[in-house]
Structure 1
Amino acid sequence: MNDAGPVEETPTSDGLDLSPFRGLRYDPDRVGSISAVTSPPYDVVVRPDGLLHLESADPHNIVRLILPQDADPAARNQQAADTLRRWLAEGVLAVDAEPGLYVYEQRDGSILQRGVIGALRLSEAADGVVLPHEDVMPHIVADRADLMRATSANLEPLLLTYRSNGGATGAAAVVERVTERAPLLSTTTEDGFSHRLWAVTDPAELAGIRTDLHRHQALIADGHHRWATYLRLRAEHPSPSAWDHGLVLLVDTARYPLRVRAIHRLLNRLPPAAARAALTGLFRVSEVRAPLAEALDALAGAAAEGNAFLLAGDGTFHLVDRPAPDLLARTVPADRPEPWRTLDATVLHATLLEHVWGIPEDSPEHIAYIHDTAATVEKAERDGGTAVLMHPVREEVVRELARQGVKMPRKSTSFGPKPATGLVLRTLTL
């Protein structure tokens, strides 16, 4: 795919409207450590291994709210609501005294990301101001909506990106000034990232951030299902109400570029040998006799020339590339722009899953979406399924498609670093 290049956003009078809120945060004196109660976003937790690890890290780990465990969905959500109420009553979680926006920093070696957490007004943002770039799965939106209704809380922020002119003015100036102060909290999670959080309550600083953001659109970098959930719940509640807003983290990628990684697929019921056999005469299939890191390098090289995937699951790696042109002509919808038709995710879903392997993309029994590369391979080898490893899409391609109103196949990208869940929550009742 051709590089679309950076896209300048057009300032709008109906742009991002970010409001202060009274953050709900852990009392560090009531938990083992702030690090021990945090979690990755709910859809990044590799279950059941990652879930059990987080649950055992601290009895108050946030995973007990975002991923409650019970065979019955209603009981599961009620469990989360009861846990939240108990932690509030016990003082494990407490609401900040005054409303504010929150400056959030993540750092790991050469990676530095800073952004602003706040309550984004949804009515205006839903109308072309916030740009989704992926389709969603209805059953996940329904599940997240049930959990938000039960808890009356935004338990983790979406990750949204916007682009300024790169100068240290407006919101950027406030962010840089705030980070010179003592933070509300500072912790390092087990992945090596350090996290710091500051509250912004000064009226002039709040006005500086909000006025600047009102000129911009935002791209959803992470959290399409939670965004769809916000919009569904807003429509269910008469306005004005707390449901008119949703918790987000806004990052200026002109100053803090995000990494874009792939989300891999685990085909639970398709053995690797059967997956490869079905590709005969349709794709080129080549064994890669190398460790995972070198196999991914081979995937990157092939992806620069065209559609390419890496299959794993039986102790070997196989590069799948050079699809037959007539196969793509038969299977990829022709009513979309060429950049969409040539996406690896498009070819995977339209050609491989639907036509070659016959796997329903919205069935958790047949397919899982996993962010961690090594974990995808390990689970495939342990369970006898096929891991389909993907090469990431460039951010500028994602943004340009989103500006055209074209959505990529679900789970096409993973932007990061993602905010840690559990540092600041938003309750809709206090």
Structure 2
Amino acid sequence: MDSGVVATPTLVTRPLRLEPFRALMLAPNRIGAQASARSFARPYSDVAARFAAWRRSGQVSQDTAPALYLHEYTTSGITIRGLVGALDLTREARTRDEVAVFPHEGVHTAQAAELADRMAEMAMNPAPILLTHRASPDLRTRLRELRQRPSDHQFTDRSGQYHRIWAIRDADALAAIEAGLIETRALIADGHHRYAAYGRLRADHLELAPATDAGLAMLVDLEDTPLFLGAIHRVLHGVSLRDLEPLGDAVRPVAGPQEAVAALAPTTVVATDGHHWATISLPRTDDRLTVEVLHQDVLPVLPTAGHEPRYAHSVDEALSAVARRRGLAILMPVPDVVDVLHAAEHGRLLPEKATSFQPKPSVGVLIRSLRDEPTDRG
């Protein structure tokens, strides 16, 4: 990525602290609805008024007392569980050994500023960023015990996601969770720009302090219910297979799509214009991931050097893109989460859209207010 337009978010220091908050929740018939998602995603100036109207009509509820929340959601046969709380942003790491939350992608500063302004306009964190970590055995056991009691909320939303939520207020349980997070080193799975926007909120919107000293986050144990890590493919318009000739023997034609897709491997990507197919061998050097080798060694020698690729989350989407407009689809292998963690812990930022962690929870299940949610950092 162009270092002139991206930056590294502030690195929060250990111990990672998730603090209780009074969750706002949309009514189940609004969660997962496209209209609700659009209301939060687009910079409408009337979002706050619309949300207030939903509250008056009983479409939004708020807990009476702060809590941490254990949120479990199931979609397409995949179940994810995570702790949801207000991530303390007030302590900045001075050395890499102190870092509690690792980004693995840079952020566009303008986009982060826009998101911060939008959250300030709404006066809320509308959805948690997703963090993934390896929980300690004690923390995993404690959360398993918490799940033995009936959930406080249980419903299926409009998109078909099934949710169970436990509010955690017991002082002993909260203390055990705090102790279990002391050594946590978490990876941002989804929400790099929102994480950076939390920092901009603190700096640019003092009228919302001290609520901006934290940001909504969901911490998922990758040993318990791991998020699915998928590939994000590249689409290069204005490029042909012939433009790959400078890569020499690294490029090998293959008979068709089945053979090409079967050849995808940690060091092999596939290039196609939709009619002809080839594999590209990209041996990994210096511990670089395949996506790093592609962006650093291959894309700069192509005719579109200097132009950002487009992105596709499925093979069909990539092929549709080159069917509509001449170009190449570069099909990527699935990255290994261990490699992503290794790169992040060593301070490397991967190219934009290097990973796709799924599934994400529907927007509106747990929302954090920036106005009427008291904060106590004791």
Give the alignment's TM-score, normalised by structure 1: 0.73
Contact kept, 8 Å, 2:22 with 2:66, in 1: the verdict is yes
Alpha-carbon deviation of 1:27? 2.4
More helix as a share of residues = 1
Q: Does 1:319 align with 2:278?
A: yes
Within 2, Cα distance between the matches of 1:91 and 1:133? 40
Within 2, Cα distance between the matches of 1:225 and 1:346? 20
Q: Does 1:63 align with 2:30?
A: no
2:261 match: 296
Alpha-carbon deviation of 1:278? 1.0
Q: Does 1:107 align with 2:112?
A: no
Contact kept, 8 Å, 1:13 with 1:215, in 2: the verdict is no
Q: Does 1:391 align with 2:350?
A: no
Alpha-carbon deviation of 1:106? 2.8
Aligned match for 1:197, one of 130, 140, 165: 165
Alpha carbons of 1:211 and 1:79: their partners in 2 closer, same or farther (altered >3 Å)?
A: same
Alpha-carbon deviation of 1:179? 5.3
1:234-275 CA-partner distances (Å, limit 9, x unpaired): 2334595111101110012233333221122233xx14xx33
Alpha carbons of 1:134 and 1:105: their partners in 2 closer, same or farther (altered >3 Å)?
A: same
SS in 2 for 1:78: coil
Within 1, Cα distance between the matches of 2:87 and 2:335? 27
1:44 match: none
- What residue identity is the alignment partner of 2:313? H
1:251 match: 220
Alpha carbons of 1:16 and 1:296: their partners in 2 closer, same or farther (altered >3 Å)?
A: same
2:17 match: 17
1:9 match: none
- What residue identity is the alignment partner of 2:23? G
2:178 match: 210
Aligned match for 1:355, one of 293, 301, 315: 301
SS in 1 for 2:85: strand
Alpha-carbon deviation of 1:382? 3.2
1:135-183 CA-partner distances (Å, limit 9, x unpaired): 2233332332232222121111111112134x3x335413442354134
Within 2, Cα distance between the matches of 1:370 and 1:20? 37
SS in 2 for 1:87: helix
Q: Does 1:130 align with 2:101?
A: yes
Aligned match for 1:88, one of 55, 61, 74: 55
Alpha carbons of 1:137 and 1:391: their partners in 2 closer, same or farther (altered >3 Å)?
A: farther
- What residue identity is the alignment partner of 1:338? D
Contact kept, 8 Å, 1:65 with 1:83, in 2: the verdict is no
Alpha-carbon deviation of 1:112? 3.3
Alpha carbons of 1:80 and 1:380: their partners in 2 closer, same or farther (altered >3 Å)?
A: farther
2:286 match: 338
Within 1, Cα distance between the matches of 2:156 and 2:314? 23
Alpha carbons of 1:370 and 1:152: their partners in 2 closer, same or farther (altered >3 Å)?
A: farther
Q: Which runs of 5+ in 2 are unaligned?
A: 1-11, 373-378
Alignment of 1:24-63 (within 5 A): 24-28=24-28, 31=29, 34=31, 36-37=32-33, 54-55=34-35, 61-63=36-38
Within 1, Cα distance between the matches of 2:120 and 2:305? 32
Contact kept, 8 Å, 2:117 with 2:201, in 1: the verdict is no
Alpha-carbon deviation of 1:396? 1.0
1:276 match: 241
Alpha-carbon deviation of 1:279? 0.6
Give the alignment's TM-score, normalised by structure 2: 0.82
Contact kept, 8 Å, 2:292 with 2:350, in 1: the verdict is yes
1:401 match: 343
Alpha-carbon deviation of 1:317? 5.7
**Over aligned residue pairs, what C-alpha RMSD do you find?**
2.9
Q: Which runs of 5+ in 1 are unaligned?
A: 1-11, 38-53, 56-60, 69-75, 329-336
2:5 match: none
Alpha-carbon deviation of 1:354? 2.9
Within 1, Cα distance between the matches of 2:76 and 2:148? 18
Within 2, Cα distance between the matches of 1:146 and 1:404? 31
Contact kept, 8 Å, 1:279 with 1:285, in 2: the verdict is no
Contact kept, 8 Å, 2:241 with 2:328, in 1: the verdict is no
Alpha-carbon deviation of 1:389? 2.0
Contact kept, 8 Å, 2:13 with 2:101, in 1: the verdict is no
SS in 2 for 1:310: strand
Q: Does 1:182 align with 2:157?
A: no
1:309 match: 269
Alpha-carbon deviation of 1:383? 4.3
- What residue identity is the alignment partner of 1:161? T
Alpha carbons of 1:27 and 1:113: their partners in 2 closer, same or farther (altered >3 Å)?
A: closer
Within 2, Cα distance between the matches of 1:266 and 1:126? 37
Contact kept, 8 Å, 1:107 with 1:193, in 2: the verdict is yes
Within 1, Cα distance between the matches of 2:15 and 2:287? 27
Alpha-carbon deviation of 1:280? 1.3
Alpha carbons of 1:116 and 1:157: their partners in 2 closer, same or farther (altered >3 Å)?
A: same
SS in 2 for 1:204: helix
1:146 match: 117
Q: Does 1:78 align with 2:49?
A: no
SS in 1 for 2:45: helix
Contact kept, 8 Å, 2:151 with 2:164, in 1: the verdict is no
Within 1, Cα distance between the matches of 2:204 and 2:337? 33
Alpha-carbon deviation of 1:223? 1.4
Within 1, Cα distance between the matches of 2:103 and 2:13? 20
Alpha carbons of 1:25 and 1:275: their partners in 2 closer, same or farther (altered >3 Å)?
A: same
Aligned length: 354
